[in-house]
Amino acid sequence: MPRILVVDDEPESCRTLQLHFTERGFDVDTAESADEGLALLNRLGADAVVLDIRMPDRDGLSMLEELRSCHPEVPVIMITAFHDLDSTVAAMHGGAVDYIPKPSDLGELENAIDRAINMHIDAGSDALVLNSSDVTGTIIGRSHAIKEVFKTIGMASQSPVPALILGEPGSGKEMVARAIHSAGADSDEPFIAVNCAATVETVLDSEIFGHERGAISGADGARKGKVEPAGHGTVFLDEVSALSPHMQGELLHLVEERKFTRVGGSETIESSARFIAATNVDLVERAADGRFREDLYYRLNVFSITVPPLRDRREDIPLLVEHLLKKTNREIHKGIRRVPSGVMEALIAFDWPGNVRQLENVLMKAVVMAPGDAITMAQLPAEIRDAGGERGASEDVGVAATESLPSLKELEREHVRKVLAGTGWHKGRACEILGISRPRLERRIVEYGFTREQFADD
């Protein structure tokens, strides 16, 4: 039978996982510290290790580093209650094969263990462990959708192959590209962004590749383009779908041959830059009807990342609001400290076609217009007020000056309560709507003191 080692400083978590996986035919050993886990692994071996990141005496990342050195063939799955970009990237760079948030969804963990046991682990991996300070605060969120993006960033940043980022306008594609660059081995090299749709073709050719004196109108001297100074860094090509057929051909040659010439020049210049492209359109469809080169699409799509729209990760909105308000307060020297619950409900209910960029713009305007230290419904656009419904509007009247900013825990409690009430205490449907596992929902019900009788009254 396959043997699993669980290393977690929480005895309850160890017992739960041991019971669950023993029933499913695994031999399960448990340890409550990194040193105890390493001793068990050295003595008994394991087909897979489930390892908690945060432990009091020695953290899981430290154990992961030693484990990868002594037992490189053993796949490691990291689990943690602190599921952010830094931890995810550090775990993936350290050699973990997967990353599961706590409280663990046992089905998700089971699938991860099955994949880990069956996959081949490269014993010679020399993956870089990211310094967490490199990417702190770049991407905000704890939803399942954004955590999948975190994991993909961690994998994509380990090699300088081209990458293609897909997502709606305003969803944060450039932030993902910067996170990949910052997490890579050449993070100290330049990150240079080019908006392929913002410049006419004749100027764009010069902007990307540079030009020699007299090559274009007004060229009094030679000039380097965007690619040359990038060195071993990253060239980010935003809205790559806007490139003309000529420029697509030039870019294909650059990505394939790693060489280019300046406009009007004859000297061949080599490039060591990594190329990350982004688009909000379906390039497969464009390639099928001849508007985008199929060979260029496959060259850029070595690694693909899809950034979810904000409406698909609504549980991240309170975190984003808090982060963006702090940022805006610093930038324009305001002191907004409170957001009434009705306002927050309206922000969560709105579909945000412009995604995070639109949310940031709305909050900035609201902060500018707010007369005190709170954002009220009056500062929100009509379409967002309408999304909040009558309850949000009524709550905002007469309480803006006295209602304190609800904590994230209070917002979560109210959100869970509404979903359970709306589904008639149907826990399966509630989990789907909330985007959480059944065990996590059960924990929240106990934590918040909810009973079925309360919801029958509702």
More confident residue, 384 or 123: 384
Number of domains observed in the structure of the chain: 4
- pLDDT > 70? residue 56: yes
Average pLDDT, the chain: 82
Written in H, E and C, the secondary structure of 234-270 is: EEEEECHHHCCHHHHHHHHHHHHHCEECCECCCCCEE
- pLDDT > 60? residue 119: no
CATH of the domain at 338: 1.10.8.60
User: Do 286 and 380 fall into the same domain?
Assistant: no
pTM greater than 0.85 (yes/no) = no
Give the pLDDT mean for 402-418.
64
Tell me: the pLDDT tens digits for 413-458?
888 888 888 888 888 888 777 767 777 788 788 888 888 777 665 5
Beta bridge partners of 193: 236
Q: What's residue 451's pLDDT?
A: 83
CATH of the domain at 427: 1.10.10
pLDDT bracket for residue 214 (50, 70, 90): low
- pLDDT > 80? residue 155: yes
User: Do 39 and 167 fall into the same domain?
Assistant: no
More confident residue, 415 or 271: 271
Contact 132, 270 (CB under 8 A): no
Residue 229 lies in a domain: yes
Q: What's residue 138's pLDDT?
A: 66
User: Do 326 and 368 fall into the same domain?
Assistant: yes
Q: What's residue 219's pLDDT?
A: 64
CATH of the domain at 176: 3.40.50.300
Percent of the residues in the chain that have a pLDDT greater than 70, as a whole number: 86
In sequence order, what are the residues at sequence separation of 6 or more whose Cβ sits closer than 8 angstroms to the Cβ of residue 298? none
User: Do 169 and 300 fall into the same domain?
Assistant: yes
- pLDDT > 80? residue 269: yes
Contact 186, 134 (CB under 8 A): no
Q: What's residue 402's pLDDT?
A: 33
Residue 246 lies in a domain: yes
> Could you say which of 286, 308, 330 is where a domain stops?
308
Tell me: the pLDDT tens digits for 305-321?
999 999 999 999 998 99
From the number of C-beta atoms within 10 Å of its C-beta (0-12, 13-18, 19+), residue 334 rates as: middle
Percent of the residues in the chain that have a pLDDT greater than 90, as a whole number: 37
Give the pLDDT mean for 280-297.
94
Say how many C-beta atoms besides its own lie within 10 A of residue 124's C-beta.
Answer: 5
> Could you say which of 270, 286, 308 is where a domain stops?
308
Domain that residue 105 falls in:
3-133
The structure tokens listed for 365 are: 């305007």
3-state helix, strand, coil in the chain (%, to 5): 50, 15, 35
